Homo-oligomer: A and B are copies of this chain.
Amino acid sequence: MVDSQQCPHDSRVSCTDCVLNSICLPIALEAEDIVKLDEIVARGRPLQKGDHLYRQEDEFSSIYAVRSGSMKSYTVTDDGQELVTGFYFPGEILGMDGIGRNRHASSAKAMETVSVCEIPFDNLGALSQKIPSLQQHCFQLMSQEIIDDRQLLALLSKCQAEERVATFLLSVSARKARNRLSATHFRLPMSRADMGNYLGLTVETISRVLSKFQKSKLLAVDNKEISIADICALKELSALRFE
């Protein structure tokens, strides 16, 4: 059990024993209900970098929780442009945008080796019917996603490049910290291009902003490794708060 807690890739670990259960779907559940949730969760083999978990327009059947690694979601617009809509770290849920139309509204791709838990949605709906706190939690997760999107919307429509990048780095930092990893030293799993795409900026702008932050000693950049040196200054740059 202790062993499996230390190996999040391990597909045998149950929700009850998962290190992530304090931030994942089980957050709202009693021990006995977690067992019920556990029964419907499927844990497949890990995805390799570049693999898709699902594709836009695929029939929707499940939502997914990241157990280890990281994923990105993106949509392709009518005119063929790719739009990165989100990044997902361990304990985070993706795929909820497929519920409304019964097909996935985005594609999800592994940015590195990833293991996920699959939660069949028919079953989750039925289980939510029986466990009020699970239904409530599903509502909350979706509502939170709306709030997060709104926050991003604010970032894109009101803030300029430096603010956007600072806010993004703080968001990643907070999510690493929530997973009990360092808040100041971490690896960005996405390319500069994906980061720029997500933030509505070009690769060049991302690169310039990071260089500028480095010059002003806010942080050190070593390719994808980021060391935040002055998190307070970064927070001042970022008008929006992240918890």
Contacts and interface: CB of A to CB of B under 8 A. Distances in A.
A90 to B, nearest CB: 20
A70 interface: no
- Chain A interface, DSSP helix/strand/loop, else mixed: helix
Given A78-B240, A78-B241, A83-B158, A146 B142 contact: yes
A106 B139 CA distance: 17
A17 interface: no
A211 interface: no
A145 interface: yes
A140 B99 CA distance: 6
Copies in the complex: 2
Given A99-B140, A100-B141, 14 more contacts: A75-B150, A77-B154, A77-B239, A77-B240, A81-B158, A83-B153, A83-B157, A97-B147, A99-B139, A100-B139, A105-B147, A129-B129, A139-B142, A153-B153
For the complex of A and B, the 8 pairs showing the least CB-CB separation, nearest first, are: A157-B200, A100-B143, A99-B143, A149-B149, A100-B144, A142-B142, A100-B140, A156-B156
Interface of A: 75, 77-79, 81, 83, 85, 96-101, 105-106, 125-126, 128-129, 132, 135-136, 138-147, 149-150, 152-154, 156-158, 197, 199-200, 239-241
